[in-house]
């Protein structure tokens, strides 16, 4: 009986030792798995944080692009409106030219008639041995004053007509006046363009290149892309702006024609 108990005791002791060994191995494996899981959780957390940051950045970029798109859309709409207005202004210009032609013809006729009338009065006011009466002198003075005014109006109308014809000719030939100067009103660095305070009324035409200066310092070049009655939009010419310098509102622009 004692021998049986001894054998059972040995078996129990061996089983206990084996179970302890197995539990130790399982605990070690569990610790390793827990450590690996914690490391994976940390990695996933970092990835989630980065994804959240990227998402926020993308949302901000999308908001910026959307705002810029809305701005460009508004500018395009404004340009369409200005184009319609330019067409209306052109029709008005042609009407003005027709009106000035008619006015010049009328004034020329009146000047000729008044000149003839004055000559007739002068002939009647100078008999061989008599001076003109005060009434006749007053009429002569009145006619001379009227002729002077009519001649002045005629010269003014001719000058205005010449200016209208010059503007129309410049528009048709797409030529700008050499030395035309203006300034930069606004700069859009994101889209690389500027807004100028010169427009169709100043003779600005599309595709013309203008120099940008700040005082006597050369800043760069811009190329006109669209023209409105009193303003124009121009792209900044690539590589024309020196490194470290940027075109700013208030900078001067000048058109210098290339001589043949």
**DSSP 8-state code for residue 231:** -
- Average pLDDT, rounded, for the chain: 77
User: For residue range 8-49, what is the model confidence (pLDDT) as tens digits?
Assistant: 676 777 667 666 666 666 667 777 777 777 778 888 788 878
**pTM (two decimals):** 0.39
pLDDT at site 217: 92
Contacts of 185 (CB under 8 A, 6+ apart): 194, 195, 196, 197, 231, 249
User: Span 90-115, mean pLDDT?
Assistant: 75
- For helices 134-173 and 2-124, give the axis angle rounded to 10 degrees: 150
184/83: higher pLDDT:
184
- Look at 125-129, 140-144, 205-209 and tell me which has the smallest mean pLDDT: 125-129
User: For residue range 48-99, what is the model confidence (pLDDT) as tens digits?
Assistant: 788 778 777 777 767 766 766 666 666 556 656 655 666 676 677 678 777 8
Angstrom distance (rounded) from CA 138 to CA 119: 15
User: For residue range 217-250, what is the model confidence (pLDDT) as tens digits?
Assistant: 999 999 999 999 899 999 999 899 998 899 999 9
């Amino acid at each position: 009986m004692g021998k049986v108990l001894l054998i059972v005791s040995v078996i129990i002791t061996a089983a206990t030792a084996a179970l302890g060994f197995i539990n130790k191995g399982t605990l070690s494996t569990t610790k390793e798995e827990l450590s690996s899981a914690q490391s994976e959780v940390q990695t996933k957390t970092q990835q989630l944080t980065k994804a959240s940051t990227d998402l926020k950045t993308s949302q901000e970029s999308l908001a910026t692009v959307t705002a810029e798109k809305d701005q460009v859309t508004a500018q395009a709409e404004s340009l369409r409106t200005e184009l319609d207005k330019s067409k209306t202004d052109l029709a008005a210009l042609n009407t003005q030219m027709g009106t000035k032609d008619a006015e010049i013809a009328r004034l020329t006729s009146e000047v000729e008639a008044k000149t003839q009338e004055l000559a007739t009065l002068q002939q009647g006011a100078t008999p061989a041995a008599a001076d003109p009466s005060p009434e006749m002198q007053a009429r002569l003075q009145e006619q001379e004053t009227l002729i002077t005014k009519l001649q002045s109006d005629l010269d003014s109308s001719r000058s205005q007509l010449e200016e209208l014809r010059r503007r129309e000719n410049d528009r048709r030939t797409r030529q700008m006046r050499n030395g035309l100067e203006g300034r930069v009103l606004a700069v859009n660095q994101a889209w690389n363009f500027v807004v100028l305070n010169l427009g169709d009324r100043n003779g600005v035409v599309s595709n013309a290149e203008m120099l940008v200066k700040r005082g006597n310092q050369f800043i760069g070049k811009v190329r006109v892309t669209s023209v409105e009655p009193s303003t124009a939009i121009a792209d900044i010419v690539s590589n024309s702006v020196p490194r470290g310098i940027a075109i700013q509102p208030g900078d001067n622009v000048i058109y210098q024609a290339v001589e043949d």
